[in-house]
Amino acid sequence: MIAGNVRLMGVCWLACTSIVPLLAQDCHLALRGKIMDADTREPLGYASVVIEGAGRGAVADANGVFAIANLCEGTTYTVTVRHVECDHQTQIIRLVENTALEFFLHHHVLQEVQVVEKAVAPAPAQAAVASAGSELAAAQGVNLGEALKRLPGVSVLNTGATIAKPVVQGLHSNRIALVANNVALEGQQWGAEHAPEIDPFTAQRISVVKGASGVRYGVGAMAGAIVLEPAPLRAQEGFGGWISLGGFSNGRAGVASAAVDWKKPGGTLAVRLQGTAKRSGNLTTPDYYLENTGASELNFSALAGWKKSAWTHEIAASRFSQRIGILRAAHIGNLTDLQRAIESPAPLNNDDVFSYEIKRPYQQVQHYTGRYRAVWRLSERWKVSGQYALQFNDRQEYDVVRQSGSAADKPQLSFRLWTNTLDLALEHFPINHWEGGIGVQGIQQTNLVGRGGLIPDYNTAGGSVWVLERWRRFPYPLEFEFGARYDYRQTGATTSGSLNNVDTLVQFGSLSGTAGIVYHAHKNVSITLNTGLAWRPPHVNELFARGVHHGAGTYEEGRPDLLAEKAWNTNLTIQYQAGQTSLTLTAYRNQIANFIYLDPQRTFVLTSRGAFPAYFYAQADAVLQGIDAGMSVPIALGFSAEARASVLRGYRLARDSGETTTHHDWLPLMPADRFQYGARWTANARRETGDAGAETGETYVQIMATTALRQTRIPEQGLLKDAPPAFTLWSMEAGHTFRLGKTGRMLDVGLTIQNLGNARYREYLNFFRLFTDEPGTNVGVRAKLSF
């Protein structure tokens, strides 16, 4: 049946691709609008308006009025407005009739170039995908991994059913920069079971930048970056906000999130407060409940911005608090029981009942972030910006306690990580069509291990200097980007219990570089080529770990002699966009010297805390290469065919003793080939209903299948348990938007069904696939009121 699905998918892909040139669209609508100053409401003449990715644009007249004709009905467009003296503004619209918009731009601070660890950020000349709108809303109530795994080239590394972290083109953890609200996350993210401490509800858009991004985001971005972009602060005076509620059948979960925005009358101060609460109980597979798989969250964030003369100030703070249950059946007391558990088709010692109680083993994580950013506009061409950010990550991991005593109330592992970063940048706006800047960054970290000793206490200090320039001249079809960066890191670690007595001092420093070109071959076709050099020093856990990694249920050992990784990454992307038709194809090759990976030892280690599979850190030259593809093609009557594919080959290069030739062996824990395919129906009918004066907005229904092939490319020595068989899952999403009268309020409602057929399956990238199946059907409902 799997082979049949794959063949059917291939036939659909070829058929849909072949009919693209035959499709004709009714593109007769126009986008009109006016551009004004946000403070004075005076027209801004001669501003530029660009429809991103479509090669279409216009220049406003002296009164700020513009028009772009011959656009397609029902199409979603990303419209960006720029004025030489103002912040740019981007708005996503779905054209349902001749549309008129008003744009209000702020003077004196141009934020088109933003410093994010820390480089100027025009649209990167790299492969990039994004999740926004209804697609993001459907996944926000689950976790960040669920919001991202629908995108081509992005998969998820799981530890059980409650912990997920993103994998971009085969790489994860310290090789991906996670940037939320202009701050790169610095937590204990090195562990496979350390989920990102990020609330997806804080983001209006989540972008995934693929490929070597060290110049832009630092040494943590060897595989790319995941950037969560919040909605801009309120531009109009007064109050606004939204309330979102959701419920899910599997785990009987509930989530509530809300935000309120306020702008001071007659002033420039704007403030946002946001919070999220979430609770879920034991999840269920098609055959049984999973004991101790509940979770709870309580998160808060605040953001404020104000302007005075040539200065702009922004201050932000957030608190993320999460408690996650760990599958009890994954923590085994002895070697015999561990072997029995791996061979059993169902988890052993599993209480097959529903409960909201979270017992040992579990994780308790809190992450605090605070930042202050200031921008000083020196002239029409130059600005200086600076940002200070403080982060504190407090992680406690509670294992099963098999003996009574004082340990029954204490965590078995405890980590506290403080991070200070300071960024300064001098940037310029277009000068002879070049824009960019130069900057420096400093970082200081202190990690204290309160209990457990899996890794030692350590101090890290470092600095970097970067330069990045971008050339673009609209409508000239070529754009260029060049950049370089140097980073230095010094880490002192100790096992003596005091950082005043450093046992080991390691130092690393290296260059990163990037070169990219964007060629707009046609108004509907763009080609992007990027090549970059990135590097990453080994983390403390890779150097010095020795012991039980609690959440993953593994025994790990590091290697103090590990060298820094150095990667040469090349991405080639071809994109076709015409109305509602879009086709994207990305081919990539990432060649990494001294690649560090966890090597399964195919044996067990018995400790005082139980028996665990052994994983040792190893190092070898490696190559990761593959193809990501996606398409959306309208058919008729509001229906469109959609498909995505991710194919990856990851192998390590080896040279036998005494031989001069090299051969390759497959890398462990690489994503299996994955294909998504289905159909979407969209209606844009609008009508007034009843006395309430409500009118309907977009309605959509989407049915998708996901086929993951069996991972046959595994190390020659095999695995503890064979890779799981291929599987196909079906899912459904539906949504509708109500516009409530003439008040400007909107109500979005939605329905999602995951694993529609309640299929029994196991994911190759789930550490707990040794013990249990994945969750079964999950029905979710959501509603969001914007006011």
Give the position of tokens 């935000």. 259
pLDDT at 194: 77
Residues 6+ apart with CB under 8 A from 45: 60, 61, 62, 63, 64
How many angstroms separate the CA atoms of 439 and 444, rounded?
17
Tokens 């994955």, residue located: 674
CATH topology of domain 128-225: Ferric Hydroxamate Uptake Protein; Chain A, domain 1 (2.170.130)
Query: What percent of the chain lies above the pLDDT cut of 90?
Result: 41
Q: What is the pLDDT of residue 611?
A: 75
Cα distance between residue 698 and residue 351, in whole Å: 44
User: 226-231+241-283+294-786 adopts what CATH topology?
Assistant: Maltoporin; Chain A (2.40.170)
What is residue 712's predicted lDDT score, i.e. its pLDDT? Answer: 92
> What pLDDT does 614 receive?
83
Q: Distances from the Cα of 388 to the Cαs of 110, 306, 371, 417, 459, in angstroms?
A: 20, 17, 6, 17, 19
E-only strand ranges, 473-524: 478-494, 504-522
**Beta-carbon contacts of residue 476 (< 8 Å; ≥ 6 apart):** none
What's residue 109's pLDDT? 41
Angle at 179 between CA 422 and CA 515, to 5 degrees: 85
So where are the chain's domains? 3-116, 128-225, 226-231+241-283+294-786
What is the number of alpha carbons within 13 Å of residue 15 lying toward its C-beta?
Answer: 12
Domains 3-116 and 128-225 share a fold: no
Coil, strand or helix: which one is 521? strand
Q: Which of 112, 103, 101 is nearest to 68 (CA)?
A: 101
Q: Is 433 left (phi over 0), alpha (psi -120 to 50) or beta?
A: left
Contact 445, 186 (CB under 8 A): yes
Task: Tell me which residues of the chain have a pLDDT lower than 50.
Answer: 1-25, 108-123, 685-696
- Residues 195 and 143: beta-carbon distance below 8 Å: yes
Cα separation values, 765 from 157, 599, 666, Å: 5, 14, 15
Report the pLDDT value the prediction gives residue 266, as an integer from 0 to 100: 80
Count other Cβ atoms within 10 Å, centred on residue 742.
Answer: 8
Output the pTM of the full model. 0.80
pLDDT for 501: 67
CATH topology of domain 3-116: Immunoglobulin-like (2.60.40)
Helix (DSSP H) and strand (DSSP E) numbers for the chain:
6, 41
Separation of alpha carbons 692 and 163, rounded Å = 43
Q: How many CB atoms are closer than 10 A to CB 455?
A: 27
Which of 178, 210, 172, 215 lies closest to 192, judged by CA?
172
